[in-house]
Amino acid sequence: MKKLLLFLLCLGTYAAGAQTLATPDQVKTDKGDLTIQPITHGSVVLKWNNKTIWVDPYGGAALYTNQSTPDLILITDIHGDHLDLKTLQALPVSNATIVAPQAVVDQLPPSMKPKAIVLTNGSKTKQHEIEITAIPMYNLPETADSRHPKGRGNGYVLNLGNKHLYLSGDTEDIPEMRALKNIDVAFVCMNLPYTMDIDQAASAVLAFKPKVVYPYHYRGQNGLSDVNAFKTKVEAGKKKIDVRLRQWYPTE
């Protein structure tokens, strides 16, 4: 009986700890601080200029219960770790503008579609004083059975006052990412076999040289990618890039 009670206590402690989020970061902009709150995997909450942006809300409503109600939701792709309808429908998102590719909007419930704006790769929109550009995200080589074919999903570049923030979505080190300019903050994925390995990710980051980079979306088939090794590779390139390792997974 004592062993059972101890097990249940430990289980409860783990469950509570699993909901503990990383401490948010602050980035100064010409319109106040940008607050960056890692949530889990590819999900992040941004607060800027009295607006709240949810990116790929996923992982259960409990992760978002202490977050401000979103003004804007960005969704990158149709896979369940990006378009998580169960999480979306359990949260107060009815007043949020949703920016997403067509494949995502096609799967939204009727109640959400009127607030959705479709962006194709390369197109732009301005919402809540934030200019949003859709960036391609896809696997290499391009094949008919690709997990992420070119044109279906979006990465995003956000103009937040005088700062530019890049969200990679699910991609490899594609030319469009390498060609990015003047990125202040970047979120870059690295999880095999779905996106790319840490060598590809580091090479791409050294090519487009963001001032700050967050490795995110780094859980793959064989567990978590070695983001410490990614950090070492980027720092070895001597490009003065601030690599920020944050807690994105409860087991980290």
Give the Cβ contact number of residue 19 at 10 Å. 14
Q: Which of 84, 58, 87, 57 is nearest to 70 (CA)?
A: 57
Domain span at 226 = 20-243
- What is the per-residue DSSP string for 43-72? EEEEEETTEEEEES--S-GGGGTTSPPPSE
Mind listing the pLDDT tens digit for each residue in 2-14? 443 333 334 333 3
- Domain presence at residue 163: yes
- Domain presence at residue 226: yes
Q: Phi and psi for 141 in degrees, rounded to 5? A: -70, 160
- Domain presence at residue 217: yes
Which pair of structure tokens corresponds to residue 49? 């200029």
CATH of the domain at 235: 3.60.15.10
- Domain presence at residue 8: no
State the sign of the Cα–Cα–Cα–Cα dihedral 79, 82, 87, 91: negative
Residue 15: its pLDDT value, please?
Answer: 38
Total structural domains within the chain:
1
User: Which three-class secondary structure state does DSSP give residue 4?
Assistant: helix
Q: How many CA atoms lie within 13 A of 65 on its CB side?
A: 7
Which pair of structure tokens corresponds to residue 175? 């030319």
Q: What is the pTM of this model?
A: 0.91
- Domain presence at residue 207: yes
Mind listing the pLDDT tens digit for each residue in 219-236? 999 899 999 999 999 999
Residue 143: its pLDDT value, please?
Answer: 86
Decide if 211 contacts 181 (C-beta within 8 A).
no
- Domain presence at residue 51: yes
- Domain presence at residue 10: no
What does the alpha-carbon distance between residue 68 and residue 89 come to, in Å, rounded to a whole number?
Answer: 16
- Domain presence at residue 12: no
